[in-house]
Structure 1
Amino acid sequence: MAISIPDTLTTDNSEKYILSIRLCPGGLSFSGYIPSDGGRFFYREVEFDRSNSYVSSLKDFFFENDFLSWVYKRIHVIYVSSQYTLVPKAFFQEKDRREYLSFNFSAPEETCLNNTLKTENAEVVFGLDKEVYEFCSRSLLNPDFTHHITSFLSLWEKRSRMNPSRQMCVFLHDKMMDIACYSQGSLLFVNSFETDTEDEILYYILSAWRGTDMDQVADMLYIAGNPVLRNRIMEALKTYLQHVSVMEIPSEAYLLGGDIGQVPMDLISLLICEL
């Protein structure tokens, strides 16, 4: 499955680009940009054949697209999954990463990594498929592996400081959702849930709202994700909550140029952290 890339990305200038590859169930997306040139941003999505194993589809994709083997300024690999936990920095030991995940997941992945959440003084510990990790590590030059929740939390922690009310941020994926609640920069709650129905989405949102004692009249709920699903969920929530809004793309993201509106919010968050 060969994918077209912009004519502006060549072997002669690839070292100026930051490349991000977002691995998610059912496929991947990737983007690239030159930090000093917003007009060079591009974004592509690829859906895998679900009858094949994920790692087989990933290998086929890499082998059919030579540009992935070029030299880049930086390469991010974003891993989208619900298998993660936050560990306070004071208790974190790198050797115990799989043990931390075992507290919350009966079958943690063999490969366990961590990202630092500086503002929370905590580590995001996450598991990822061993074959996927080893293949990406071999095929890419010094990739930086990041869990999707890391950049999402980093950005919205900053946004919540500027608002006196409590905020819930919801990010809808394909059959998964993230929920994070804040009070003026303080993280109150974060979790991700696998979902099959809209009723499940509503249940998890309202349960988290009630569990964090958020106010139905004064506090805010922001939702990002597929526009059709997002709008249906928003309409249903307005029966219970007064302030329900679309999670707007931060204005800084438009400095990248291109069609930023189709980019997933966790990737937007990662890109903004680098601007």
Structure 2
Amino acid sequence: MLYFRLRQERVASGWRNIGLAIVLSGLAFILINWGEPVAYTYFPPSPTITLSPTPSISPTITLSPTITLTATITDTPSVTDTPTITPTPFIPAAIEADFIAEVTPNPDAIFSPLTFGRGIDNDYQAVNPGTVFSNPIRRIVAVYSYDKMQDGVQWSVLWYRNGELLHYETAPWSGGTGGYGFVELDPGEAAWLPGDYEVQVFIGLEWIVVGRFVVEGEPNTATPTPAPSATNPPPATQIPSPTRFPSATPQPTLTRVPSNTAGPTSTRFPSRTPLPTDTKWPTVTPVSP
């Protein structure tokens, strides 16, 4: 019974709240629509003066005289050299004429990005790698890896400085299908001028990879040793030419008379040598008994 009464009280309280809400909503609706006129009936508003805007004089625009520019005649050159922008690297025709390979390149061949350094170690890694190098520089090496290549295809490497071709090499490929490789440029320390350098690698006529690096500072230039000036030799003393003597008249040669030939000398025979005489032996003397 106790819980039943509590439930009934809760239900009755809820209905009361709903009814109160409906009454307040209706009162609010009445006030919004008819509250202001009813209030003005009991509390009439006092009239307020409305300010009328005063007319303002707008300034007139005075047109200023325009300056007429006199056209000047500019000498236009008849021929204008307009550099053509080539966004994609290409093989110059002079280098293409050196192609000798007949193997068709594999379109799936790939090269890694170029890594630049001052040298290369035994593991085909660049020594002192970077993209900015300061003079003095002896050589620059570009290291790469590759895959799916074919022996015999034409491949080319082009070196540029500030857009000008410095060096190139093109030959049939002989490095196998995959691995590591490198190309280098060693023109001498005096040839590494400062600027922006670019290396382009091609397989056939197709551009494969491009790498860039910067050289800073002036290169070492060897000062030439002045050669000793040549000393003029003393003038040669002219030797008088020998005076020819009159040739001797050949005298008749004497004919030798043959000398008497000595006859052979007689050969002496050896003299007879006398033999020694026999020495007599002593006789035996008989002895008496």
Report the TM-score, using the length of structure 1 for normalisation.
0.17
Which of the two has higher C-alpha Rg? 2
Higher helix share: 1
Report the TM-score, using the length of structure 2 for normalisation.
0.16
Pick 1 or 2: higher relative contact order, CA cutoff 8 A, min separation 6: 1
